[in-house]
């Protein structure tokens, strides 16, 4: 049988000498032979085992799990556990990505991150937020309405075109408030018209649902339970007054 030195194995499999020594120390791969001078010699079977380990490591499996797979646990059981771990990590990464999108969208809306408003959105346990949101939806909306909202409402964690339009609308209202322009002014009425256009796009002409939604949106408690980004009271009041004035003029 041919044997290979540590250097030859390292070169063949692109492994470091340190890694080979560590595998030997933890009993993961023991060389087939060791001479009196401490020289390690590896058999073809050792090389095959090292290649299996490399394959399993490429699947992000820990050395502990690899050792169990090789020496104790069945391959199916170990792979099942590993798959579950990866799925959990993917869920956690997705949640982190959603939070990052939320930060970006708040930054676009506010021009800065207002931590006192942001922390309640992301700090609370996701299961608690989901439960509160579910209860709020059940109280405020019918099953059909909940399904419509689920499909159509833009979310802070996504790059939704509708979301950008609403964010820009809020910015325009804030500018009007800063400049002392009322809802009845030309700028206020353009905002009212755009509000109605966006509302029609979102609710597809379902005015009853639109009214129920905006009533919930005006309520701080309902907005918090539904996990909506908080909008200032004066902004919501401006929007409502502008729309009412606009509709009176149309009539």
Q: Is residue 18 part of a domain?
A: yes
Kindly tell me if the per-residue pLDDT of 179 is higher than 90: yes
Same domain for 53 and 140, yes or no, is no
Domain hosting residue 25, numbered range: 4-73
pTM: predicted TM-score of the whole model, two decimal places: 0.50
Give, for 41, the enclosing helix (H) or strand (E).
strand 40-42
141 and 230 inside one domain = yes
158, 241: one domain: yes
Angle 117-120-121 (CA atoms, 0-180°, nearest 5)?
A: 90
Q: 155 in a domain, yes or no?
A: yes
Please give the radius of gyration of the chain, using alpha carbons only, rounded to the nearest integer.
30
Is 140 in the same domain as 32?
Answer: no
Report yes or no on 237 lying in a domain.
Answer: yes
Distance CA(214)–CA(195), nearest Å, equals 11
Q: pLDDT digits over 15-37, tens only?
A: 999 999 999 999 999 999 987 77
Q: What does the pLDDT look like over 134-175, one tens digit per residue?
A: 665 666 777 887 777 777 776 666 656 777 888 889 889 999
């Amino acid at each position: 049988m041919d044997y290979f030195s540590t250097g030859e194995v390292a070169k063949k499999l692109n492994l470091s000498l340190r890694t080979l020594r560590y595998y030997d120390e933890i009993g993961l791969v023991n060389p087939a032979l060791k001479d009196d001078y401490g020289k390690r010699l590896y058999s073809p079977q050792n090389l095959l085992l090292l290649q299996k380990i490399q394959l399993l490591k490429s699947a992000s499996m820990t050395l502990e799990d690899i050792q169990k797979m090789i020496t104790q646990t069945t391959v199916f059981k170990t792979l099942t556990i590993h798959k579950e771990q990866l799925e959990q990590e993917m869920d956690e990464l997705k949640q982190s990505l959603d939070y990052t999108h939320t930060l970006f969208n708040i930054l676009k809306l506010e021009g800065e991150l207002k931590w006192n408003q942001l922390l309640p959105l992301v700090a609370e346990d996701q299961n608690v937020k989901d439960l509160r949101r579910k209860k709020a939806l059940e109280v405020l909306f019918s099953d059909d309405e909940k399904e419509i909202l689920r499909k159509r409402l833009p979310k802070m964690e996504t790059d939704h075109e509708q979301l950008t339009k609403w964010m820009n609308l809020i910015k325009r209202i804030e500018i009007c408030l800063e400049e002392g322009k009322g809802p009845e002014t030309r700028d206020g009425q353009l905002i009212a018209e755009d509000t109605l256009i966006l509302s029609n796009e979102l609710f597809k002409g379902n005015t009853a649902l639109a009214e129920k939604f905006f009533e919930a949106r005006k309520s701080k408690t309902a907005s918090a339970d539904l996990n909506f980004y908080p909008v200032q009271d004066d902004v919501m009041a401006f929007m409502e007054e502008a729309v009412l004035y606009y509709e009176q003029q149309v009539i």
